[in-house]
Amino acid sequence: MSDHWYALHVKPRFEKYVTRQLESKGYETFLPTYVLKRKWSDRIKSLSFPLFPSYVFCRFDIHSRLPIVITPGVMAVLGAGKIATPVDEAELTAIRHITESGIPAEPCPYLAVGEAVRVETGPLEGLTGIVLRTKGTDRLVVSVSLLMRSVFVEIDSSRVKPVRERTPRMVSSILDYNLVG
Check residue 177 and give its pLDDT. Answer: 32
How far apart CA 83 and CA 7 sit, in angstroms, is 13
pLDDT confidence bin for 17, thresholds 50/70/90? very high
Going along the chain from its start, the domains and CATH numbers come out as: 4-87 (3.30.70.940), 101-172 (2.30.30)
pTM for this entry: 0.72
Instruction: Tell me the per-residue pLDDT of 107-120, one tens digit each, with 9 for 90 and over.
Output: 876 644 467 888 88
DSSP string covering the chain, please?
Answer: ---EEEEEEE-TT-HHHHHHHHHHTT-EEE--EEEEEEE-SS-EEEEEEESSTTEEEEEE-GGG-HHHHTSTTEEEEEEETTEE-PPPHHHHHHHHHHHHH---EEEE---SS-EEEEE-SSTTTT-EEEEEEETTEEEEEEEETTTTEEEEEE--GGGEEE-SS--TTTS-----EEEE-
Q: How far is CA 130 from the centre of its chain?
A: 15
**119 near 127, Cβ under 8 Å?**
yes
Q: Per-residue pLDDT for 15 more than 90?
A: yes
Instruction: List CB contacts of 134: < 8 A, sequence separation 6 or more.
Output: none
